[in-house]
Amino acid sequence: MKVLFLNGPNLNLLGQREPGIYGRATLADIEAGVRKRAKPHKAKVDFRQSNHEGELVTWIQEAKGKFDVIVLNAAALTHTSVALRDAIAAVGIPTIEIHLSNTSARESFRQKSLIAPVCVGQIAGFGANSYYLAVDAAVSVNEK
Ligand code: DQA
């Protein structure tokens, strides 16, 4: 089983970026934790980050036929990107939306996700644990 983890804008700054909201773990720390969690499942993980919407769209398109599940923290693009939503719908790979923070409990502009309707489900509000829970969710989605 192959899982593609994609991270959107500003997530490269985790660890120093608003730690009260996003925690002290860096994206590299989280990647290491994801790989550890994936190991017993024998799941292969590819873990990427981009600040560019188009690059994320390209990665989603290229995932067709190569990955079984996508785990996406689209960051701010969650709330704005029709292009990401269309890419997910186009490739038809089961996609899990994740967030470190509980976006439903934050500013009103974060309460709307344009990608949610084309994802199989959401995990939000558990900090770095949202990523680790997503490994388990990806395994269960793939077993369906
Ligand atoms: C985020 C939530 C988004 O609203 C925000 O723009 C981010 C991070 C999260 O993981 O909590 O950059 O996706």
Q: Over the stretch 87-132, which tens digit does the pLDDT of each residue have? A: 999 999 999 999 999 999 999 999 999 999 999 999 999 999 999 9
Q: Tell the residue nearest (CA) to atom 12 of ligand 1.
A: 75
- Closest to 118 measured CA to CA, from 89, 138, 96, 140: 89
Span 45-77, pLDDT tens digits: 999 999 999 999 999 999 999 999 999 999 999
Q: Which member of 22, 41, 79, 132 is catalytic?
A: 22
- 3-state class percentages of the chain: helix first, strand second, coil last, to nearest 5: 50, 20, 35
| 79 assigned to active site | no
Q: Report how far residue 60's alpha carbon sits from residue 130's, in angstroms, rounded to the nearest whole number.
A: 20
- pLDDT confidence of residue 144: 75
> Which residues, 6 or more positions from 2, have their beta carbon under 8 angstroms from its beta carbon?
43, 44, 45, 46, 66, 67, 68, 69
Choice between 143 and 46, residue whose per-residue pLDDT is larger: 46
Q: Is 22 a catalytic residue?
A: yes
Q: How far apart are CA 125 and CA 123, in angstroms?
A: 7
Q: Kindly state the DSSP code that residue 69 receives in the 8-state scheme.
A: E
CA of 47 to the centre of ligand 1 (A): 17
Q: What is the mean pLDDT of residues 79-94?
A: 98
What pTM was estimated for this model as a whole? 0.97
CA dihedral over 87, 52, 59, 5, signed as positive or negative: negative
CB count, 10 Å around CB of 74? 27
